[in-house]
Structure 1
Amino acid sequence: MTTVSGGPPHPGPWQPARVTGIRRETPTAKTFTLTLPQPRSFWAGQYFVVRLTAPDGYRAQRSYSIASAPSDSAEVDLTVEILPGGEVSGFLNEAVEVGDVLDVRGPIGGDFAWDLRPALGLAGGSGIVPLMSMLRHARKLGQPGLFRLVVSVRSPEELYYAAEIQGPDASIVFTRAVPDGHVRPPGRLMARELAAALDGDRDVYVCGSTAFCDAATQLAAAAGVPVERIRVERFGFSG
């Protein structure tokens, strides 16, 4: 069994990260490529905190999951959902440009970090971000079957990383609207679909809204996955 020795890396001090790329994923989400002063190791499933400081000294900070696969590079991708009235996400969306410098701290998080044991990721909407790091990592290792991903999203326009969600290791469940030619009708993730993705002995990583996480966790448990092997990360409004 493939595993990672030791535990997930601990966060270092706050450091300046230069924005070296910005890519729009959906009408309400952007991916920011940040270049750190030095390479910083991390595990898929961890996150960074971004801190903004106003001229009067007021500070606001938010946590954003890492979307890129672990590497030896000093670059890290954070995908940010732009929330209505979001204090930090709104600034990142409207004001930040390539070349700007942001204060960041990370990587953070251990409970949801992937240790490279065979796993299935169940993503609801923007909950795909940390699971995409895992999928990219498995593909980068040349072991695409090591991690499988099922994404539940309302419509094609809201699907993050649409160009990459292709192949036998990833599938999409559209709940409200489907693209032309899509065989499966719109609807929620079904028990039989989850069972088909659980090919063999796998841990399960669930990420999304509270409602999605509750439903997906119940499906996984009903499919026979021991509760202690189901890891859950809930996304809520954090602006």
Structure 2
Amino acid sequence: MARTAVLRRLKWHAARVLGVHDETATARTICLEVRDWPGHVAGQHIDLRLRARDGYTAVRSYSIASAPFSEGRIEITVERLPTGEVSPYLTQELMVGDYLELRGPIGGWFVWRSGQTEPVQLIAGGSGIVPLMCMIRSRALANSTAPFRLLYSVREPGAIYYRAELEALSTRPPFVTTQYAFTRVAPNDWPRPSGRIDRDLIASATWPASVGATCYVCGPSGFVESVADLLCSAGNRQDKIKTERFGPTGLPE
């Protein structure tokens, strides 16, 4: 009911496509100039609406990937789903100069604000990296000194979003310590066999519970539930674990 009430107050905005670029073989980042954009907080998402010539409409939710820009620009990263109605168009047909409709920003729980100073643990599964990347970029924009760590679970190296940017952040300020978990194919020289995030990886790659980090976990529902349980078992307080679940269609639930 609360989400419905909020959406009724949000208006649809016209958004012009300023640029597109591929992150992986199946994911594309889209830069949008949004008319009358009110601004957003790291971790929020938008609803995007497409209209067909016959009047049919489809609405999908996408997390915002970019830090807040004063000129009303945002970026989203879309993973192409083979059976999807919307993602194939956005990742294969959408062109610079096209217009879309969107409303937002939406969300107030799964957010990071620049006034937060405590350590932050980010844990992403697949495309769940998108809102967490927004947090990383927002931290840099705000010149925040809050320490960040990222644990990123992907199928294989070729599925990593924002790879060059994450590699750069591991070697220069604002530093983000990044650890990968490859679930299907790991690099030949990788010190850990392929597999899902488990208790040992949580212990070695995330902040100790004693530091009181705020944990943000985003990805498919099963992934989020498993990781949240592991974090609790490691001693993290439940109220310090914030989650965003993606359903079977890739939509935030």
Q: TM-score with structure 1 length normalisation?
A: 0.89
Give the Cα–Cα distance (whole angstroms) in 1 for the partners of residues 74 and 9 of structure 2.
14
Moved over 6 A (4+): none
In the alignment, structure 1 residue 159 sits paired with structure 2 residue 160? yes
Deviations 1:49-98 (A, max 9, x none): 11011112111110000011123231100111111121111221232101
Distance 2:80 2:113 in 1: 30
**Would the aligned equivalents of 2:21 and 2:28 in 1 still touch at CA under 8 Å?**
yes
Shift of 1:45: 0.7
Name 1:69's counterpart in structure 2: 67
Offset of residue 180 of structure 1: 4.5
| SS of residue paired to 1:165 | helix
How far 1:11 moved relative to its partner?
A: 7.0
Aligned to 1:132: 133
For the residue of structure 2 that corresponds to 1:186, the secondary structure is coil
Moved more, 162-171 or 141-150: 141-150
Aligned match of 1:187: 195
Q: Is contact 1:62-1:238 (8 Å) kept?
A: no
Larger RCO of the pair (alpha carbons < 8 Å, separation 6+): 1
One-letter amino acid matched to 2:234: A
Going from structure 1 to structure 2, the CA distance change for 1:107 and 1:11 (only over 3 Å counts) comes to farther
The one-character-per-residue Cα deviations of 1:112-132 (angstroms, maximum 9, x if unpaired) are: 122343321110111111111
Q: Distance in 2 between matches of 1:115 and 1:140?
A: 11
Partner SS state of residue 217, structure 1: helix
1:208 aligns with 2:219: yes
**Counterpart-to-counterpart distance in 1, 2:249 and 2:199:** 31
Report what 2:4 is aligned to.
none
In percent, how many aligned pairs have the same letter?
A: 43
Q: Does 1:198 align with 2:198?
A: no
Give the stretch that moved more between structures: 176-185 or 201-210. Answer: 176-185
Give the letter for the 1:141 counterpart. Answer: A
Rounded to whole Å, the distance in 2 between the matches of 1:169 and 1:11 is: 39
Structure 2 residue 232 is matched with structure 1 residue 221 = yes
Distance 1:80 1:92 in 2: 7
| Residue 176 (str. 1) matches residue 187 (str. 2) | no
Q: 2:155 touches 2:182 (CA, 8 Å); kept in 1? A: yes
Residue ranges of structure 1 left out of the alignment (5+ in a row): 1-9
**Aligned residue in 2 for 1:235:** 246
C-alpha separation in 1, matches of 2:193 and 2:140? 29
Question: 1:16-165 residue pairs with structure 2 within 5 A?
Answer: 16-116=14-114, 117=116, 118=118, 119-143=120-144, 145-165=146-166
Equivalenced residues, count: 230
* Amino acid paired to 2:107: G
- CA RMSD in angstroms comes to 1.9
| TM-fit CA distance, 1:229 | 1.6
Give the gaps of 5 or more residues in structure 2. Answer: 1-7, 171-175
Aligned AA for 2:187? P
Q: Deviations over 1:177-199 (max 9, x none)?
A: 12343333322223243234215
CA contact (8 A) 2:79 2:91 kept: no
